[in-house]
C-alpha cells in the first residue's frame, strides 16, 4: 500500500480527535517518543527517541499506537528502516502530553 502524507495526516487527525477528551494514552500497546527521549517509550516521562521507532513498532505490536510529541525538532542522523508483518498496522501520530 502506498500511503501519502495526506493519508497519514487524515489518520492522525482521526486518532487525535478520539483522544481529544484530554485523557492521556495509557495502554500496553502504546509507545511515546520525544525529540530528546532517552527512555524505553513506556510513558511520556520515559519517552524514547525517534531512532528507536523500529523497536517501538515491535514493542507495541499489531494494532499498537506510537505517539510522537508535537513539540521540538526531531533530528534523524540516518534513515530509519521500518518493517513489520504484512497487514499488521501500527499507527504513528503527533500528540500532546495530554
Tens-place pLDDT, residues 11-27? 444 444 444 333 444 45
Q: Whole-angstrom Cα distance, residue 78 to residue 38?
A: 18
CA distances from 97 to 61, 87, 92 (A): 22, 29, 15
Q: What is the DSSP letter of 70?
A: S
Is the pTM above the cut of 0.75? no
Question: Ramachandran region of residue 63, left (φ > 0), alpha (ψ -120 to 50) or beta?
Answer: left
- Mean pLDDT over each residue of the chain, to the nearest integer: 77
CA 65-84-23 angle, to 5 degrees, is 0
What is the per-residue pLDDT for 65?
94
Structure confidence at residue 10 (pLDDT): 44
Cell of 31: 509507545
For residues 22-49, average pLDDT: 84
Amino acid at each position: 500500500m502506498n500511503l501519502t502524507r495526506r493519508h497519514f495526516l487524515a489518520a492522525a487527525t482521526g486518532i487525535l480527535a478520539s483522544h481529544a477528551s484530554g485523557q492521556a494514552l495509557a495502554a500496553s500497546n502504546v509507545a511515546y517518543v520525544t525529540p530528546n527521549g532517552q527512555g524505553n517509550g513506556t510513558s511520556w516521562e520515559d519517552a524514547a527517541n525517534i531512532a528507536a521507532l523500529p523497536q517501538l513498532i515491535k514493542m507495541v505490536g499489531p494494532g499498537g499506537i506510537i505517539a510522537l510529541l508535537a513539540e521540538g525538532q526531531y533530528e534523524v542522523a540516518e534513515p530509519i528502516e521500518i518493517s513489520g508483518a504484512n497487514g499488521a498496522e501500527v499507527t504513528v501520530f503527533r500528540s500532546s502530553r495530554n
